[in-house]
């Protein structure tokens, strides 16, 4: 392998149809953006001749696409890397080469530190430069510890393989499409503006082209994703500005697209036209993930969220006026520096006032380099744990109440895969709930009206009433 890159060899073997074609395993940690990036890296590997490996043990190229949002996310990756080093050394003794890549936000944030902590790593590549993976692997053939954490001016998406043969590994029925990256909001607790950089929006034409090849691969639902997706400011082919509402309308107009979703949004970017899209665009799912983080105005100000609890409640009211059946979901942080019992109570009050269909709650985790990490009043771990438990219990009650309220209702379910039992299919309701029903596999990729007849801890049981309308 010293003369050619692993990718060159992979391409040759794939072209020859030989069994030697190397295998790539890409493991994703963290958010939806990483899931999307991992798929794009898998496309890249496929074009380069790699076949997909079922596990790291089975792979010649192992990519960990990492997360840095909380301390625990980063530590998990270092422990995984320790295990992979053993695998790599054992292989080496058997004369087989393994290439270990760390991609994603930990790579961006820690760069060379990763190589110091784990020298078995061959390549460190940030979220804005992973399109250069083939070149970086080529470099790694001749020297150890290749790092690329640039924010290059070139358009990463334009450099990634799209409809090239073999690239569109099947995405299933529902797929993510990155439409916006980065964040300019600088919430005091958050690493994203540093790891993902400034906000950029992809042009409408590039997004529609990608949706085009996704639907040809069988996708029927697209989730438009971005760190701050409702700050989307793209351009149409004539160079005119287009916001997220315009983009949603354009995506919904693709005939094969049955459903459109978007995430994650900031309250301050819930524009009038985006709220109106919830009323006007039939294919837009009645579901809004709108993180609020805290219900205390004092904490919201310290977090640099730039809105008050009442502003959030007013937005929720407007979205509900536009689309009465909309389901709300949110993210919360407990134990932010300076959070008192009264601040935490204000968060519980906000939760009670809204009634969420599902949510995520986290203990505040101090991240090096962010303003909140330097603040006084860091909250005791035990206090964080008990607040987290109390908030999660309330959110779980609300989730179950929401699910129970769906029993007896008819919902449009987009079926995605076979169920665990024969004769069953599983799909998603407009509200992201898993719904299983007795039905033929031919329903996969189809929307059907389903009457919900039961509810389990994590899913609804449905009876198919009528096929796609």
Could you list the residues that contact ligand 5AD (CB under 6 A)? Answer: 69-70, 189-190, 291, 293, 331, 333, 362, 364-365, 367
Does 227 contact ligand SF4 by CB under 6 A? yes
Q: Is 450 helix (H, G, I), strand (E, B) or coil?
A: strand
Q: Which does 102 bind (CB under 5 to 8 A by kind): ligand 5AD, ligand SF4, none?
A: none
**Binder to ligand SF4 among 228, 265, 296, 398 (CB under 6 A)?**
228
Closer residue to ligand 5AD, CB minimum distance, 118 or 268? 268
Min dist. Cβ of residue 349 to ligand 5AD (A): 18
Select the binding partner of residue 186 from ligand SF4, ligand 5AD, none (C-beta < 5 to 8 A, by kind). Answer: ligand SF4
Contact between 187 and 225 under an 8 Å Cβ cutoff? The reply is no
For residues 333 and 313, give the distance between their C-alpha atoms in angstroms, rounded to a whole number: 18
Q: How many residues bind ligand SF4 (CB under 6 A)?
A: 10
CA gap 464, 432 in Å, rounded: 17
DSSP 123-181: EEE-TTSGGGHHHHHHHHHHSS-EEE----SS-HHHHS--SSTTT-----SEEEEE-EE
Sites for ligand SF4 among residues 249-268 (CB under 6 A): 266
> Rounded CA gap, 239 and 250, in Å?
15
Query: Least CB distance from residue 331 to ligand SF4, whole Å?
Result: 8
Residue nearest to ligand 5AD (CB): 331
**Separation CA 465–CA 410 (nearest Å):** 8
Q: How far is the CB of 186 from ligand SF4 (least distance, A)?
A: 6
Query: Which partner in ligand SF4, ligand 5AD, none is near 66 (CB below 5 to 8 A by kind)?
Result: none
Instruction: Tell me how far, at minimum, the Cβ of 302 lies from ligand 5AD, in Å.
Output: 13
Give the contact letters, 184-203, x = binds to ligand SF4 (CB under 6 A), - = no.
-xxx--x-xx----------
Least distance to ligand 5AD, CB of residue 374, Å: 13
Contact status: 306 vs ligand SF4 (CB under 6 A): no
Indicate the residue among 160 and 263 with the shorter CB distance to ligand 5AD.
263
Kindly report the backbone phi and psi dihedral angles of residue 339, in degrees, each rounded to the nearest multiple of 5, phi listed first: -70, 120
Residue 11 contacts which entry, ligand SF4, ligand 5AD, none (Cβ below 5-8 A, type-dependent) = none
Residue 69, binding choice from ligand SF4, ligand 5AD, none, Cβ under 5 to 8 Å by partner class: ligand 5AD
Phi-psi region for residue 144, left (φ > 0), alpha (ψ -120 to 50) or beta? beta
How far is residue 444's CA from residue 126's CA, in Å, rounded to a whole number? 36
- CA–CA dist 122, 145 (Å, integer): 5
Q: Does 101 bind ligand SF4 (CB under 6 A)?
A: no
- Min separation Cβ 139 and ligand 5AD, Å: 33
Cα–Cα distances in angstroms (integers) from residue 181 to residues 177, 187, 234, 317, 362, in the given order: 11, 16, 12, 28, 23
Cβ distance 261 to 224 under 8 Å? yes
Pick between residue 32 and residue 271 the one whose CB is nearest to ligand 5AD: 32
Q: Which of 109, 183, 247, 460 binds ligand SF4 (CB under 6 A)?
A: 183
Nearer to ligand 5AD, 243 or 291 (CB): 291
- Give φ, ψ of 293 to 5 degrees: 75, -45
CA 159-160-161 angle, to 5 degrees, is: 120
First to last CA, the chain: 55
Give which of 414, 432, 413 is closest to 358, Cα–Cα: 432
Note the residues at the interface with ligand SF4 (CB under 6 A): 183, 185-187, 190, 192-193, 227-228, 266
């Amino acid at each position: 392998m010293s003369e050619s890159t692993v990718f060159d060899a992979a391409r040759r073997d794939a072209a020859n149809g030989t069994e030697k074609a190397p295998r790539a395993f890409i493991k994703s940690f963290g958010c939806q953006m990483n899931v999307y990036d991992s798929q794009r890296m898998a496309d890249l590997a496929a074009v380069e001749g790699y076949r997909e490996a079922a596990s790291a043990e089975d792979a010649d190229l192992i990519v960990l696409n990492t997360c840095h949002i909380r301390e625990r996310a980063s530590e998990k990756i270092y422990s995984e890397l320790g295990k992979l080093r053993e695998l790599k050394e054992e292989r080496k003794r058997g004369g087989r080469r393994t290439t270990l890549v760390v991609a994603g936000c930990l790579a961006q944030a820690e760069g060379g530190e990763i190589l110091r902590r784990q020298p078995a790593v061959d390549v460190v590549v940030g979220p804005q430069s992973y399109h250069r993976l083939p070149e970086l692997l080529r470099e790694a053939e001749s020297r150890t510890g290749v790092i690329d954490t640039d924010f290059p001016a070139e358009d990463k998406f334009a450099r990634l393989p799209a409809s090239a043969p073999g690239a569109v590994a099947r995405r299933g029925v529902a797929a993510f499409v990155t439409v916006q990256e980065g964040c300019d909001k600088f919430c005091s607790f958050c690493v994203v503006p540093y790891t993902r950089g400034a906000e950029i929006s992809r042009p409408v034409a590039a997004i529609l082209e990608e949706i085009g090849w996704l639907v040809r691969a069988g996708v029927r639902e697209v989730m438009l994703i971005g760190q701050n997706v409702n700050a989307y400011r793209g351009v149409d082919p004539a160079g005119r500005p287009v916001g997220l509402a315009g983009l949603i309308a354009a995506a919904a107009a693709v005939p094969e697209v049955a459903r459109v979703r978007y995430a994650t949004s900031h309250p301050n970017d819930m524009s009038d036209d985006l709220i109106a899209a919830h009323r006007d665009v039939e294919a837009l799912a009645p579901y809004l993930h709108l993180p609020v983080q805290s219900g205390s105005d004092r904490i919201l100000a310290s977090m640099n969220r730039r809105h008050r609890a009442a502003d959030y409640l007013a937005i929720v009211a407007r979205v509900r006026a536009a689309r009465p059946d909309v389901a709300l979901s949110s993210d919360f942080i407990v134990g932010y520096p300076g959070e008192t019992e009264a601040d935490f109570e204000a968060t519980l009050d906000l939760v009670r006032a809204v009634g969420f269909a599902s949510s995520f709650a986290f203990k505040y985790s101090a991240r090096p380099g962010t303003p909140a990490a330097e603040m006084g009043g860091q909250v005791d771990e035990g206090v964080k744990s008990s607040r987290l438990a109390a908030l999660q219990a309330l959110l779980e009650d609300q989730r179950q109440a929401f699910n129970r309220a769906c029993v007896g209702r008819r919902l449009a379910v987009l079926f995605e895969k076979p169920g665990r039992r024969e004769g069953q299919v599983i799909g998603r309701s407009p509200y992201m709930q898993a719904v299983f029903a007795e039905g033929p596999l031919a329903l996969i990729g189809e929307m059907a009206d389903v009457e919900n007849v039961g509810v389990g801890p994590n899913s609804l049981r449905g009876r198919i009433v009528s096929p796609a309308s």
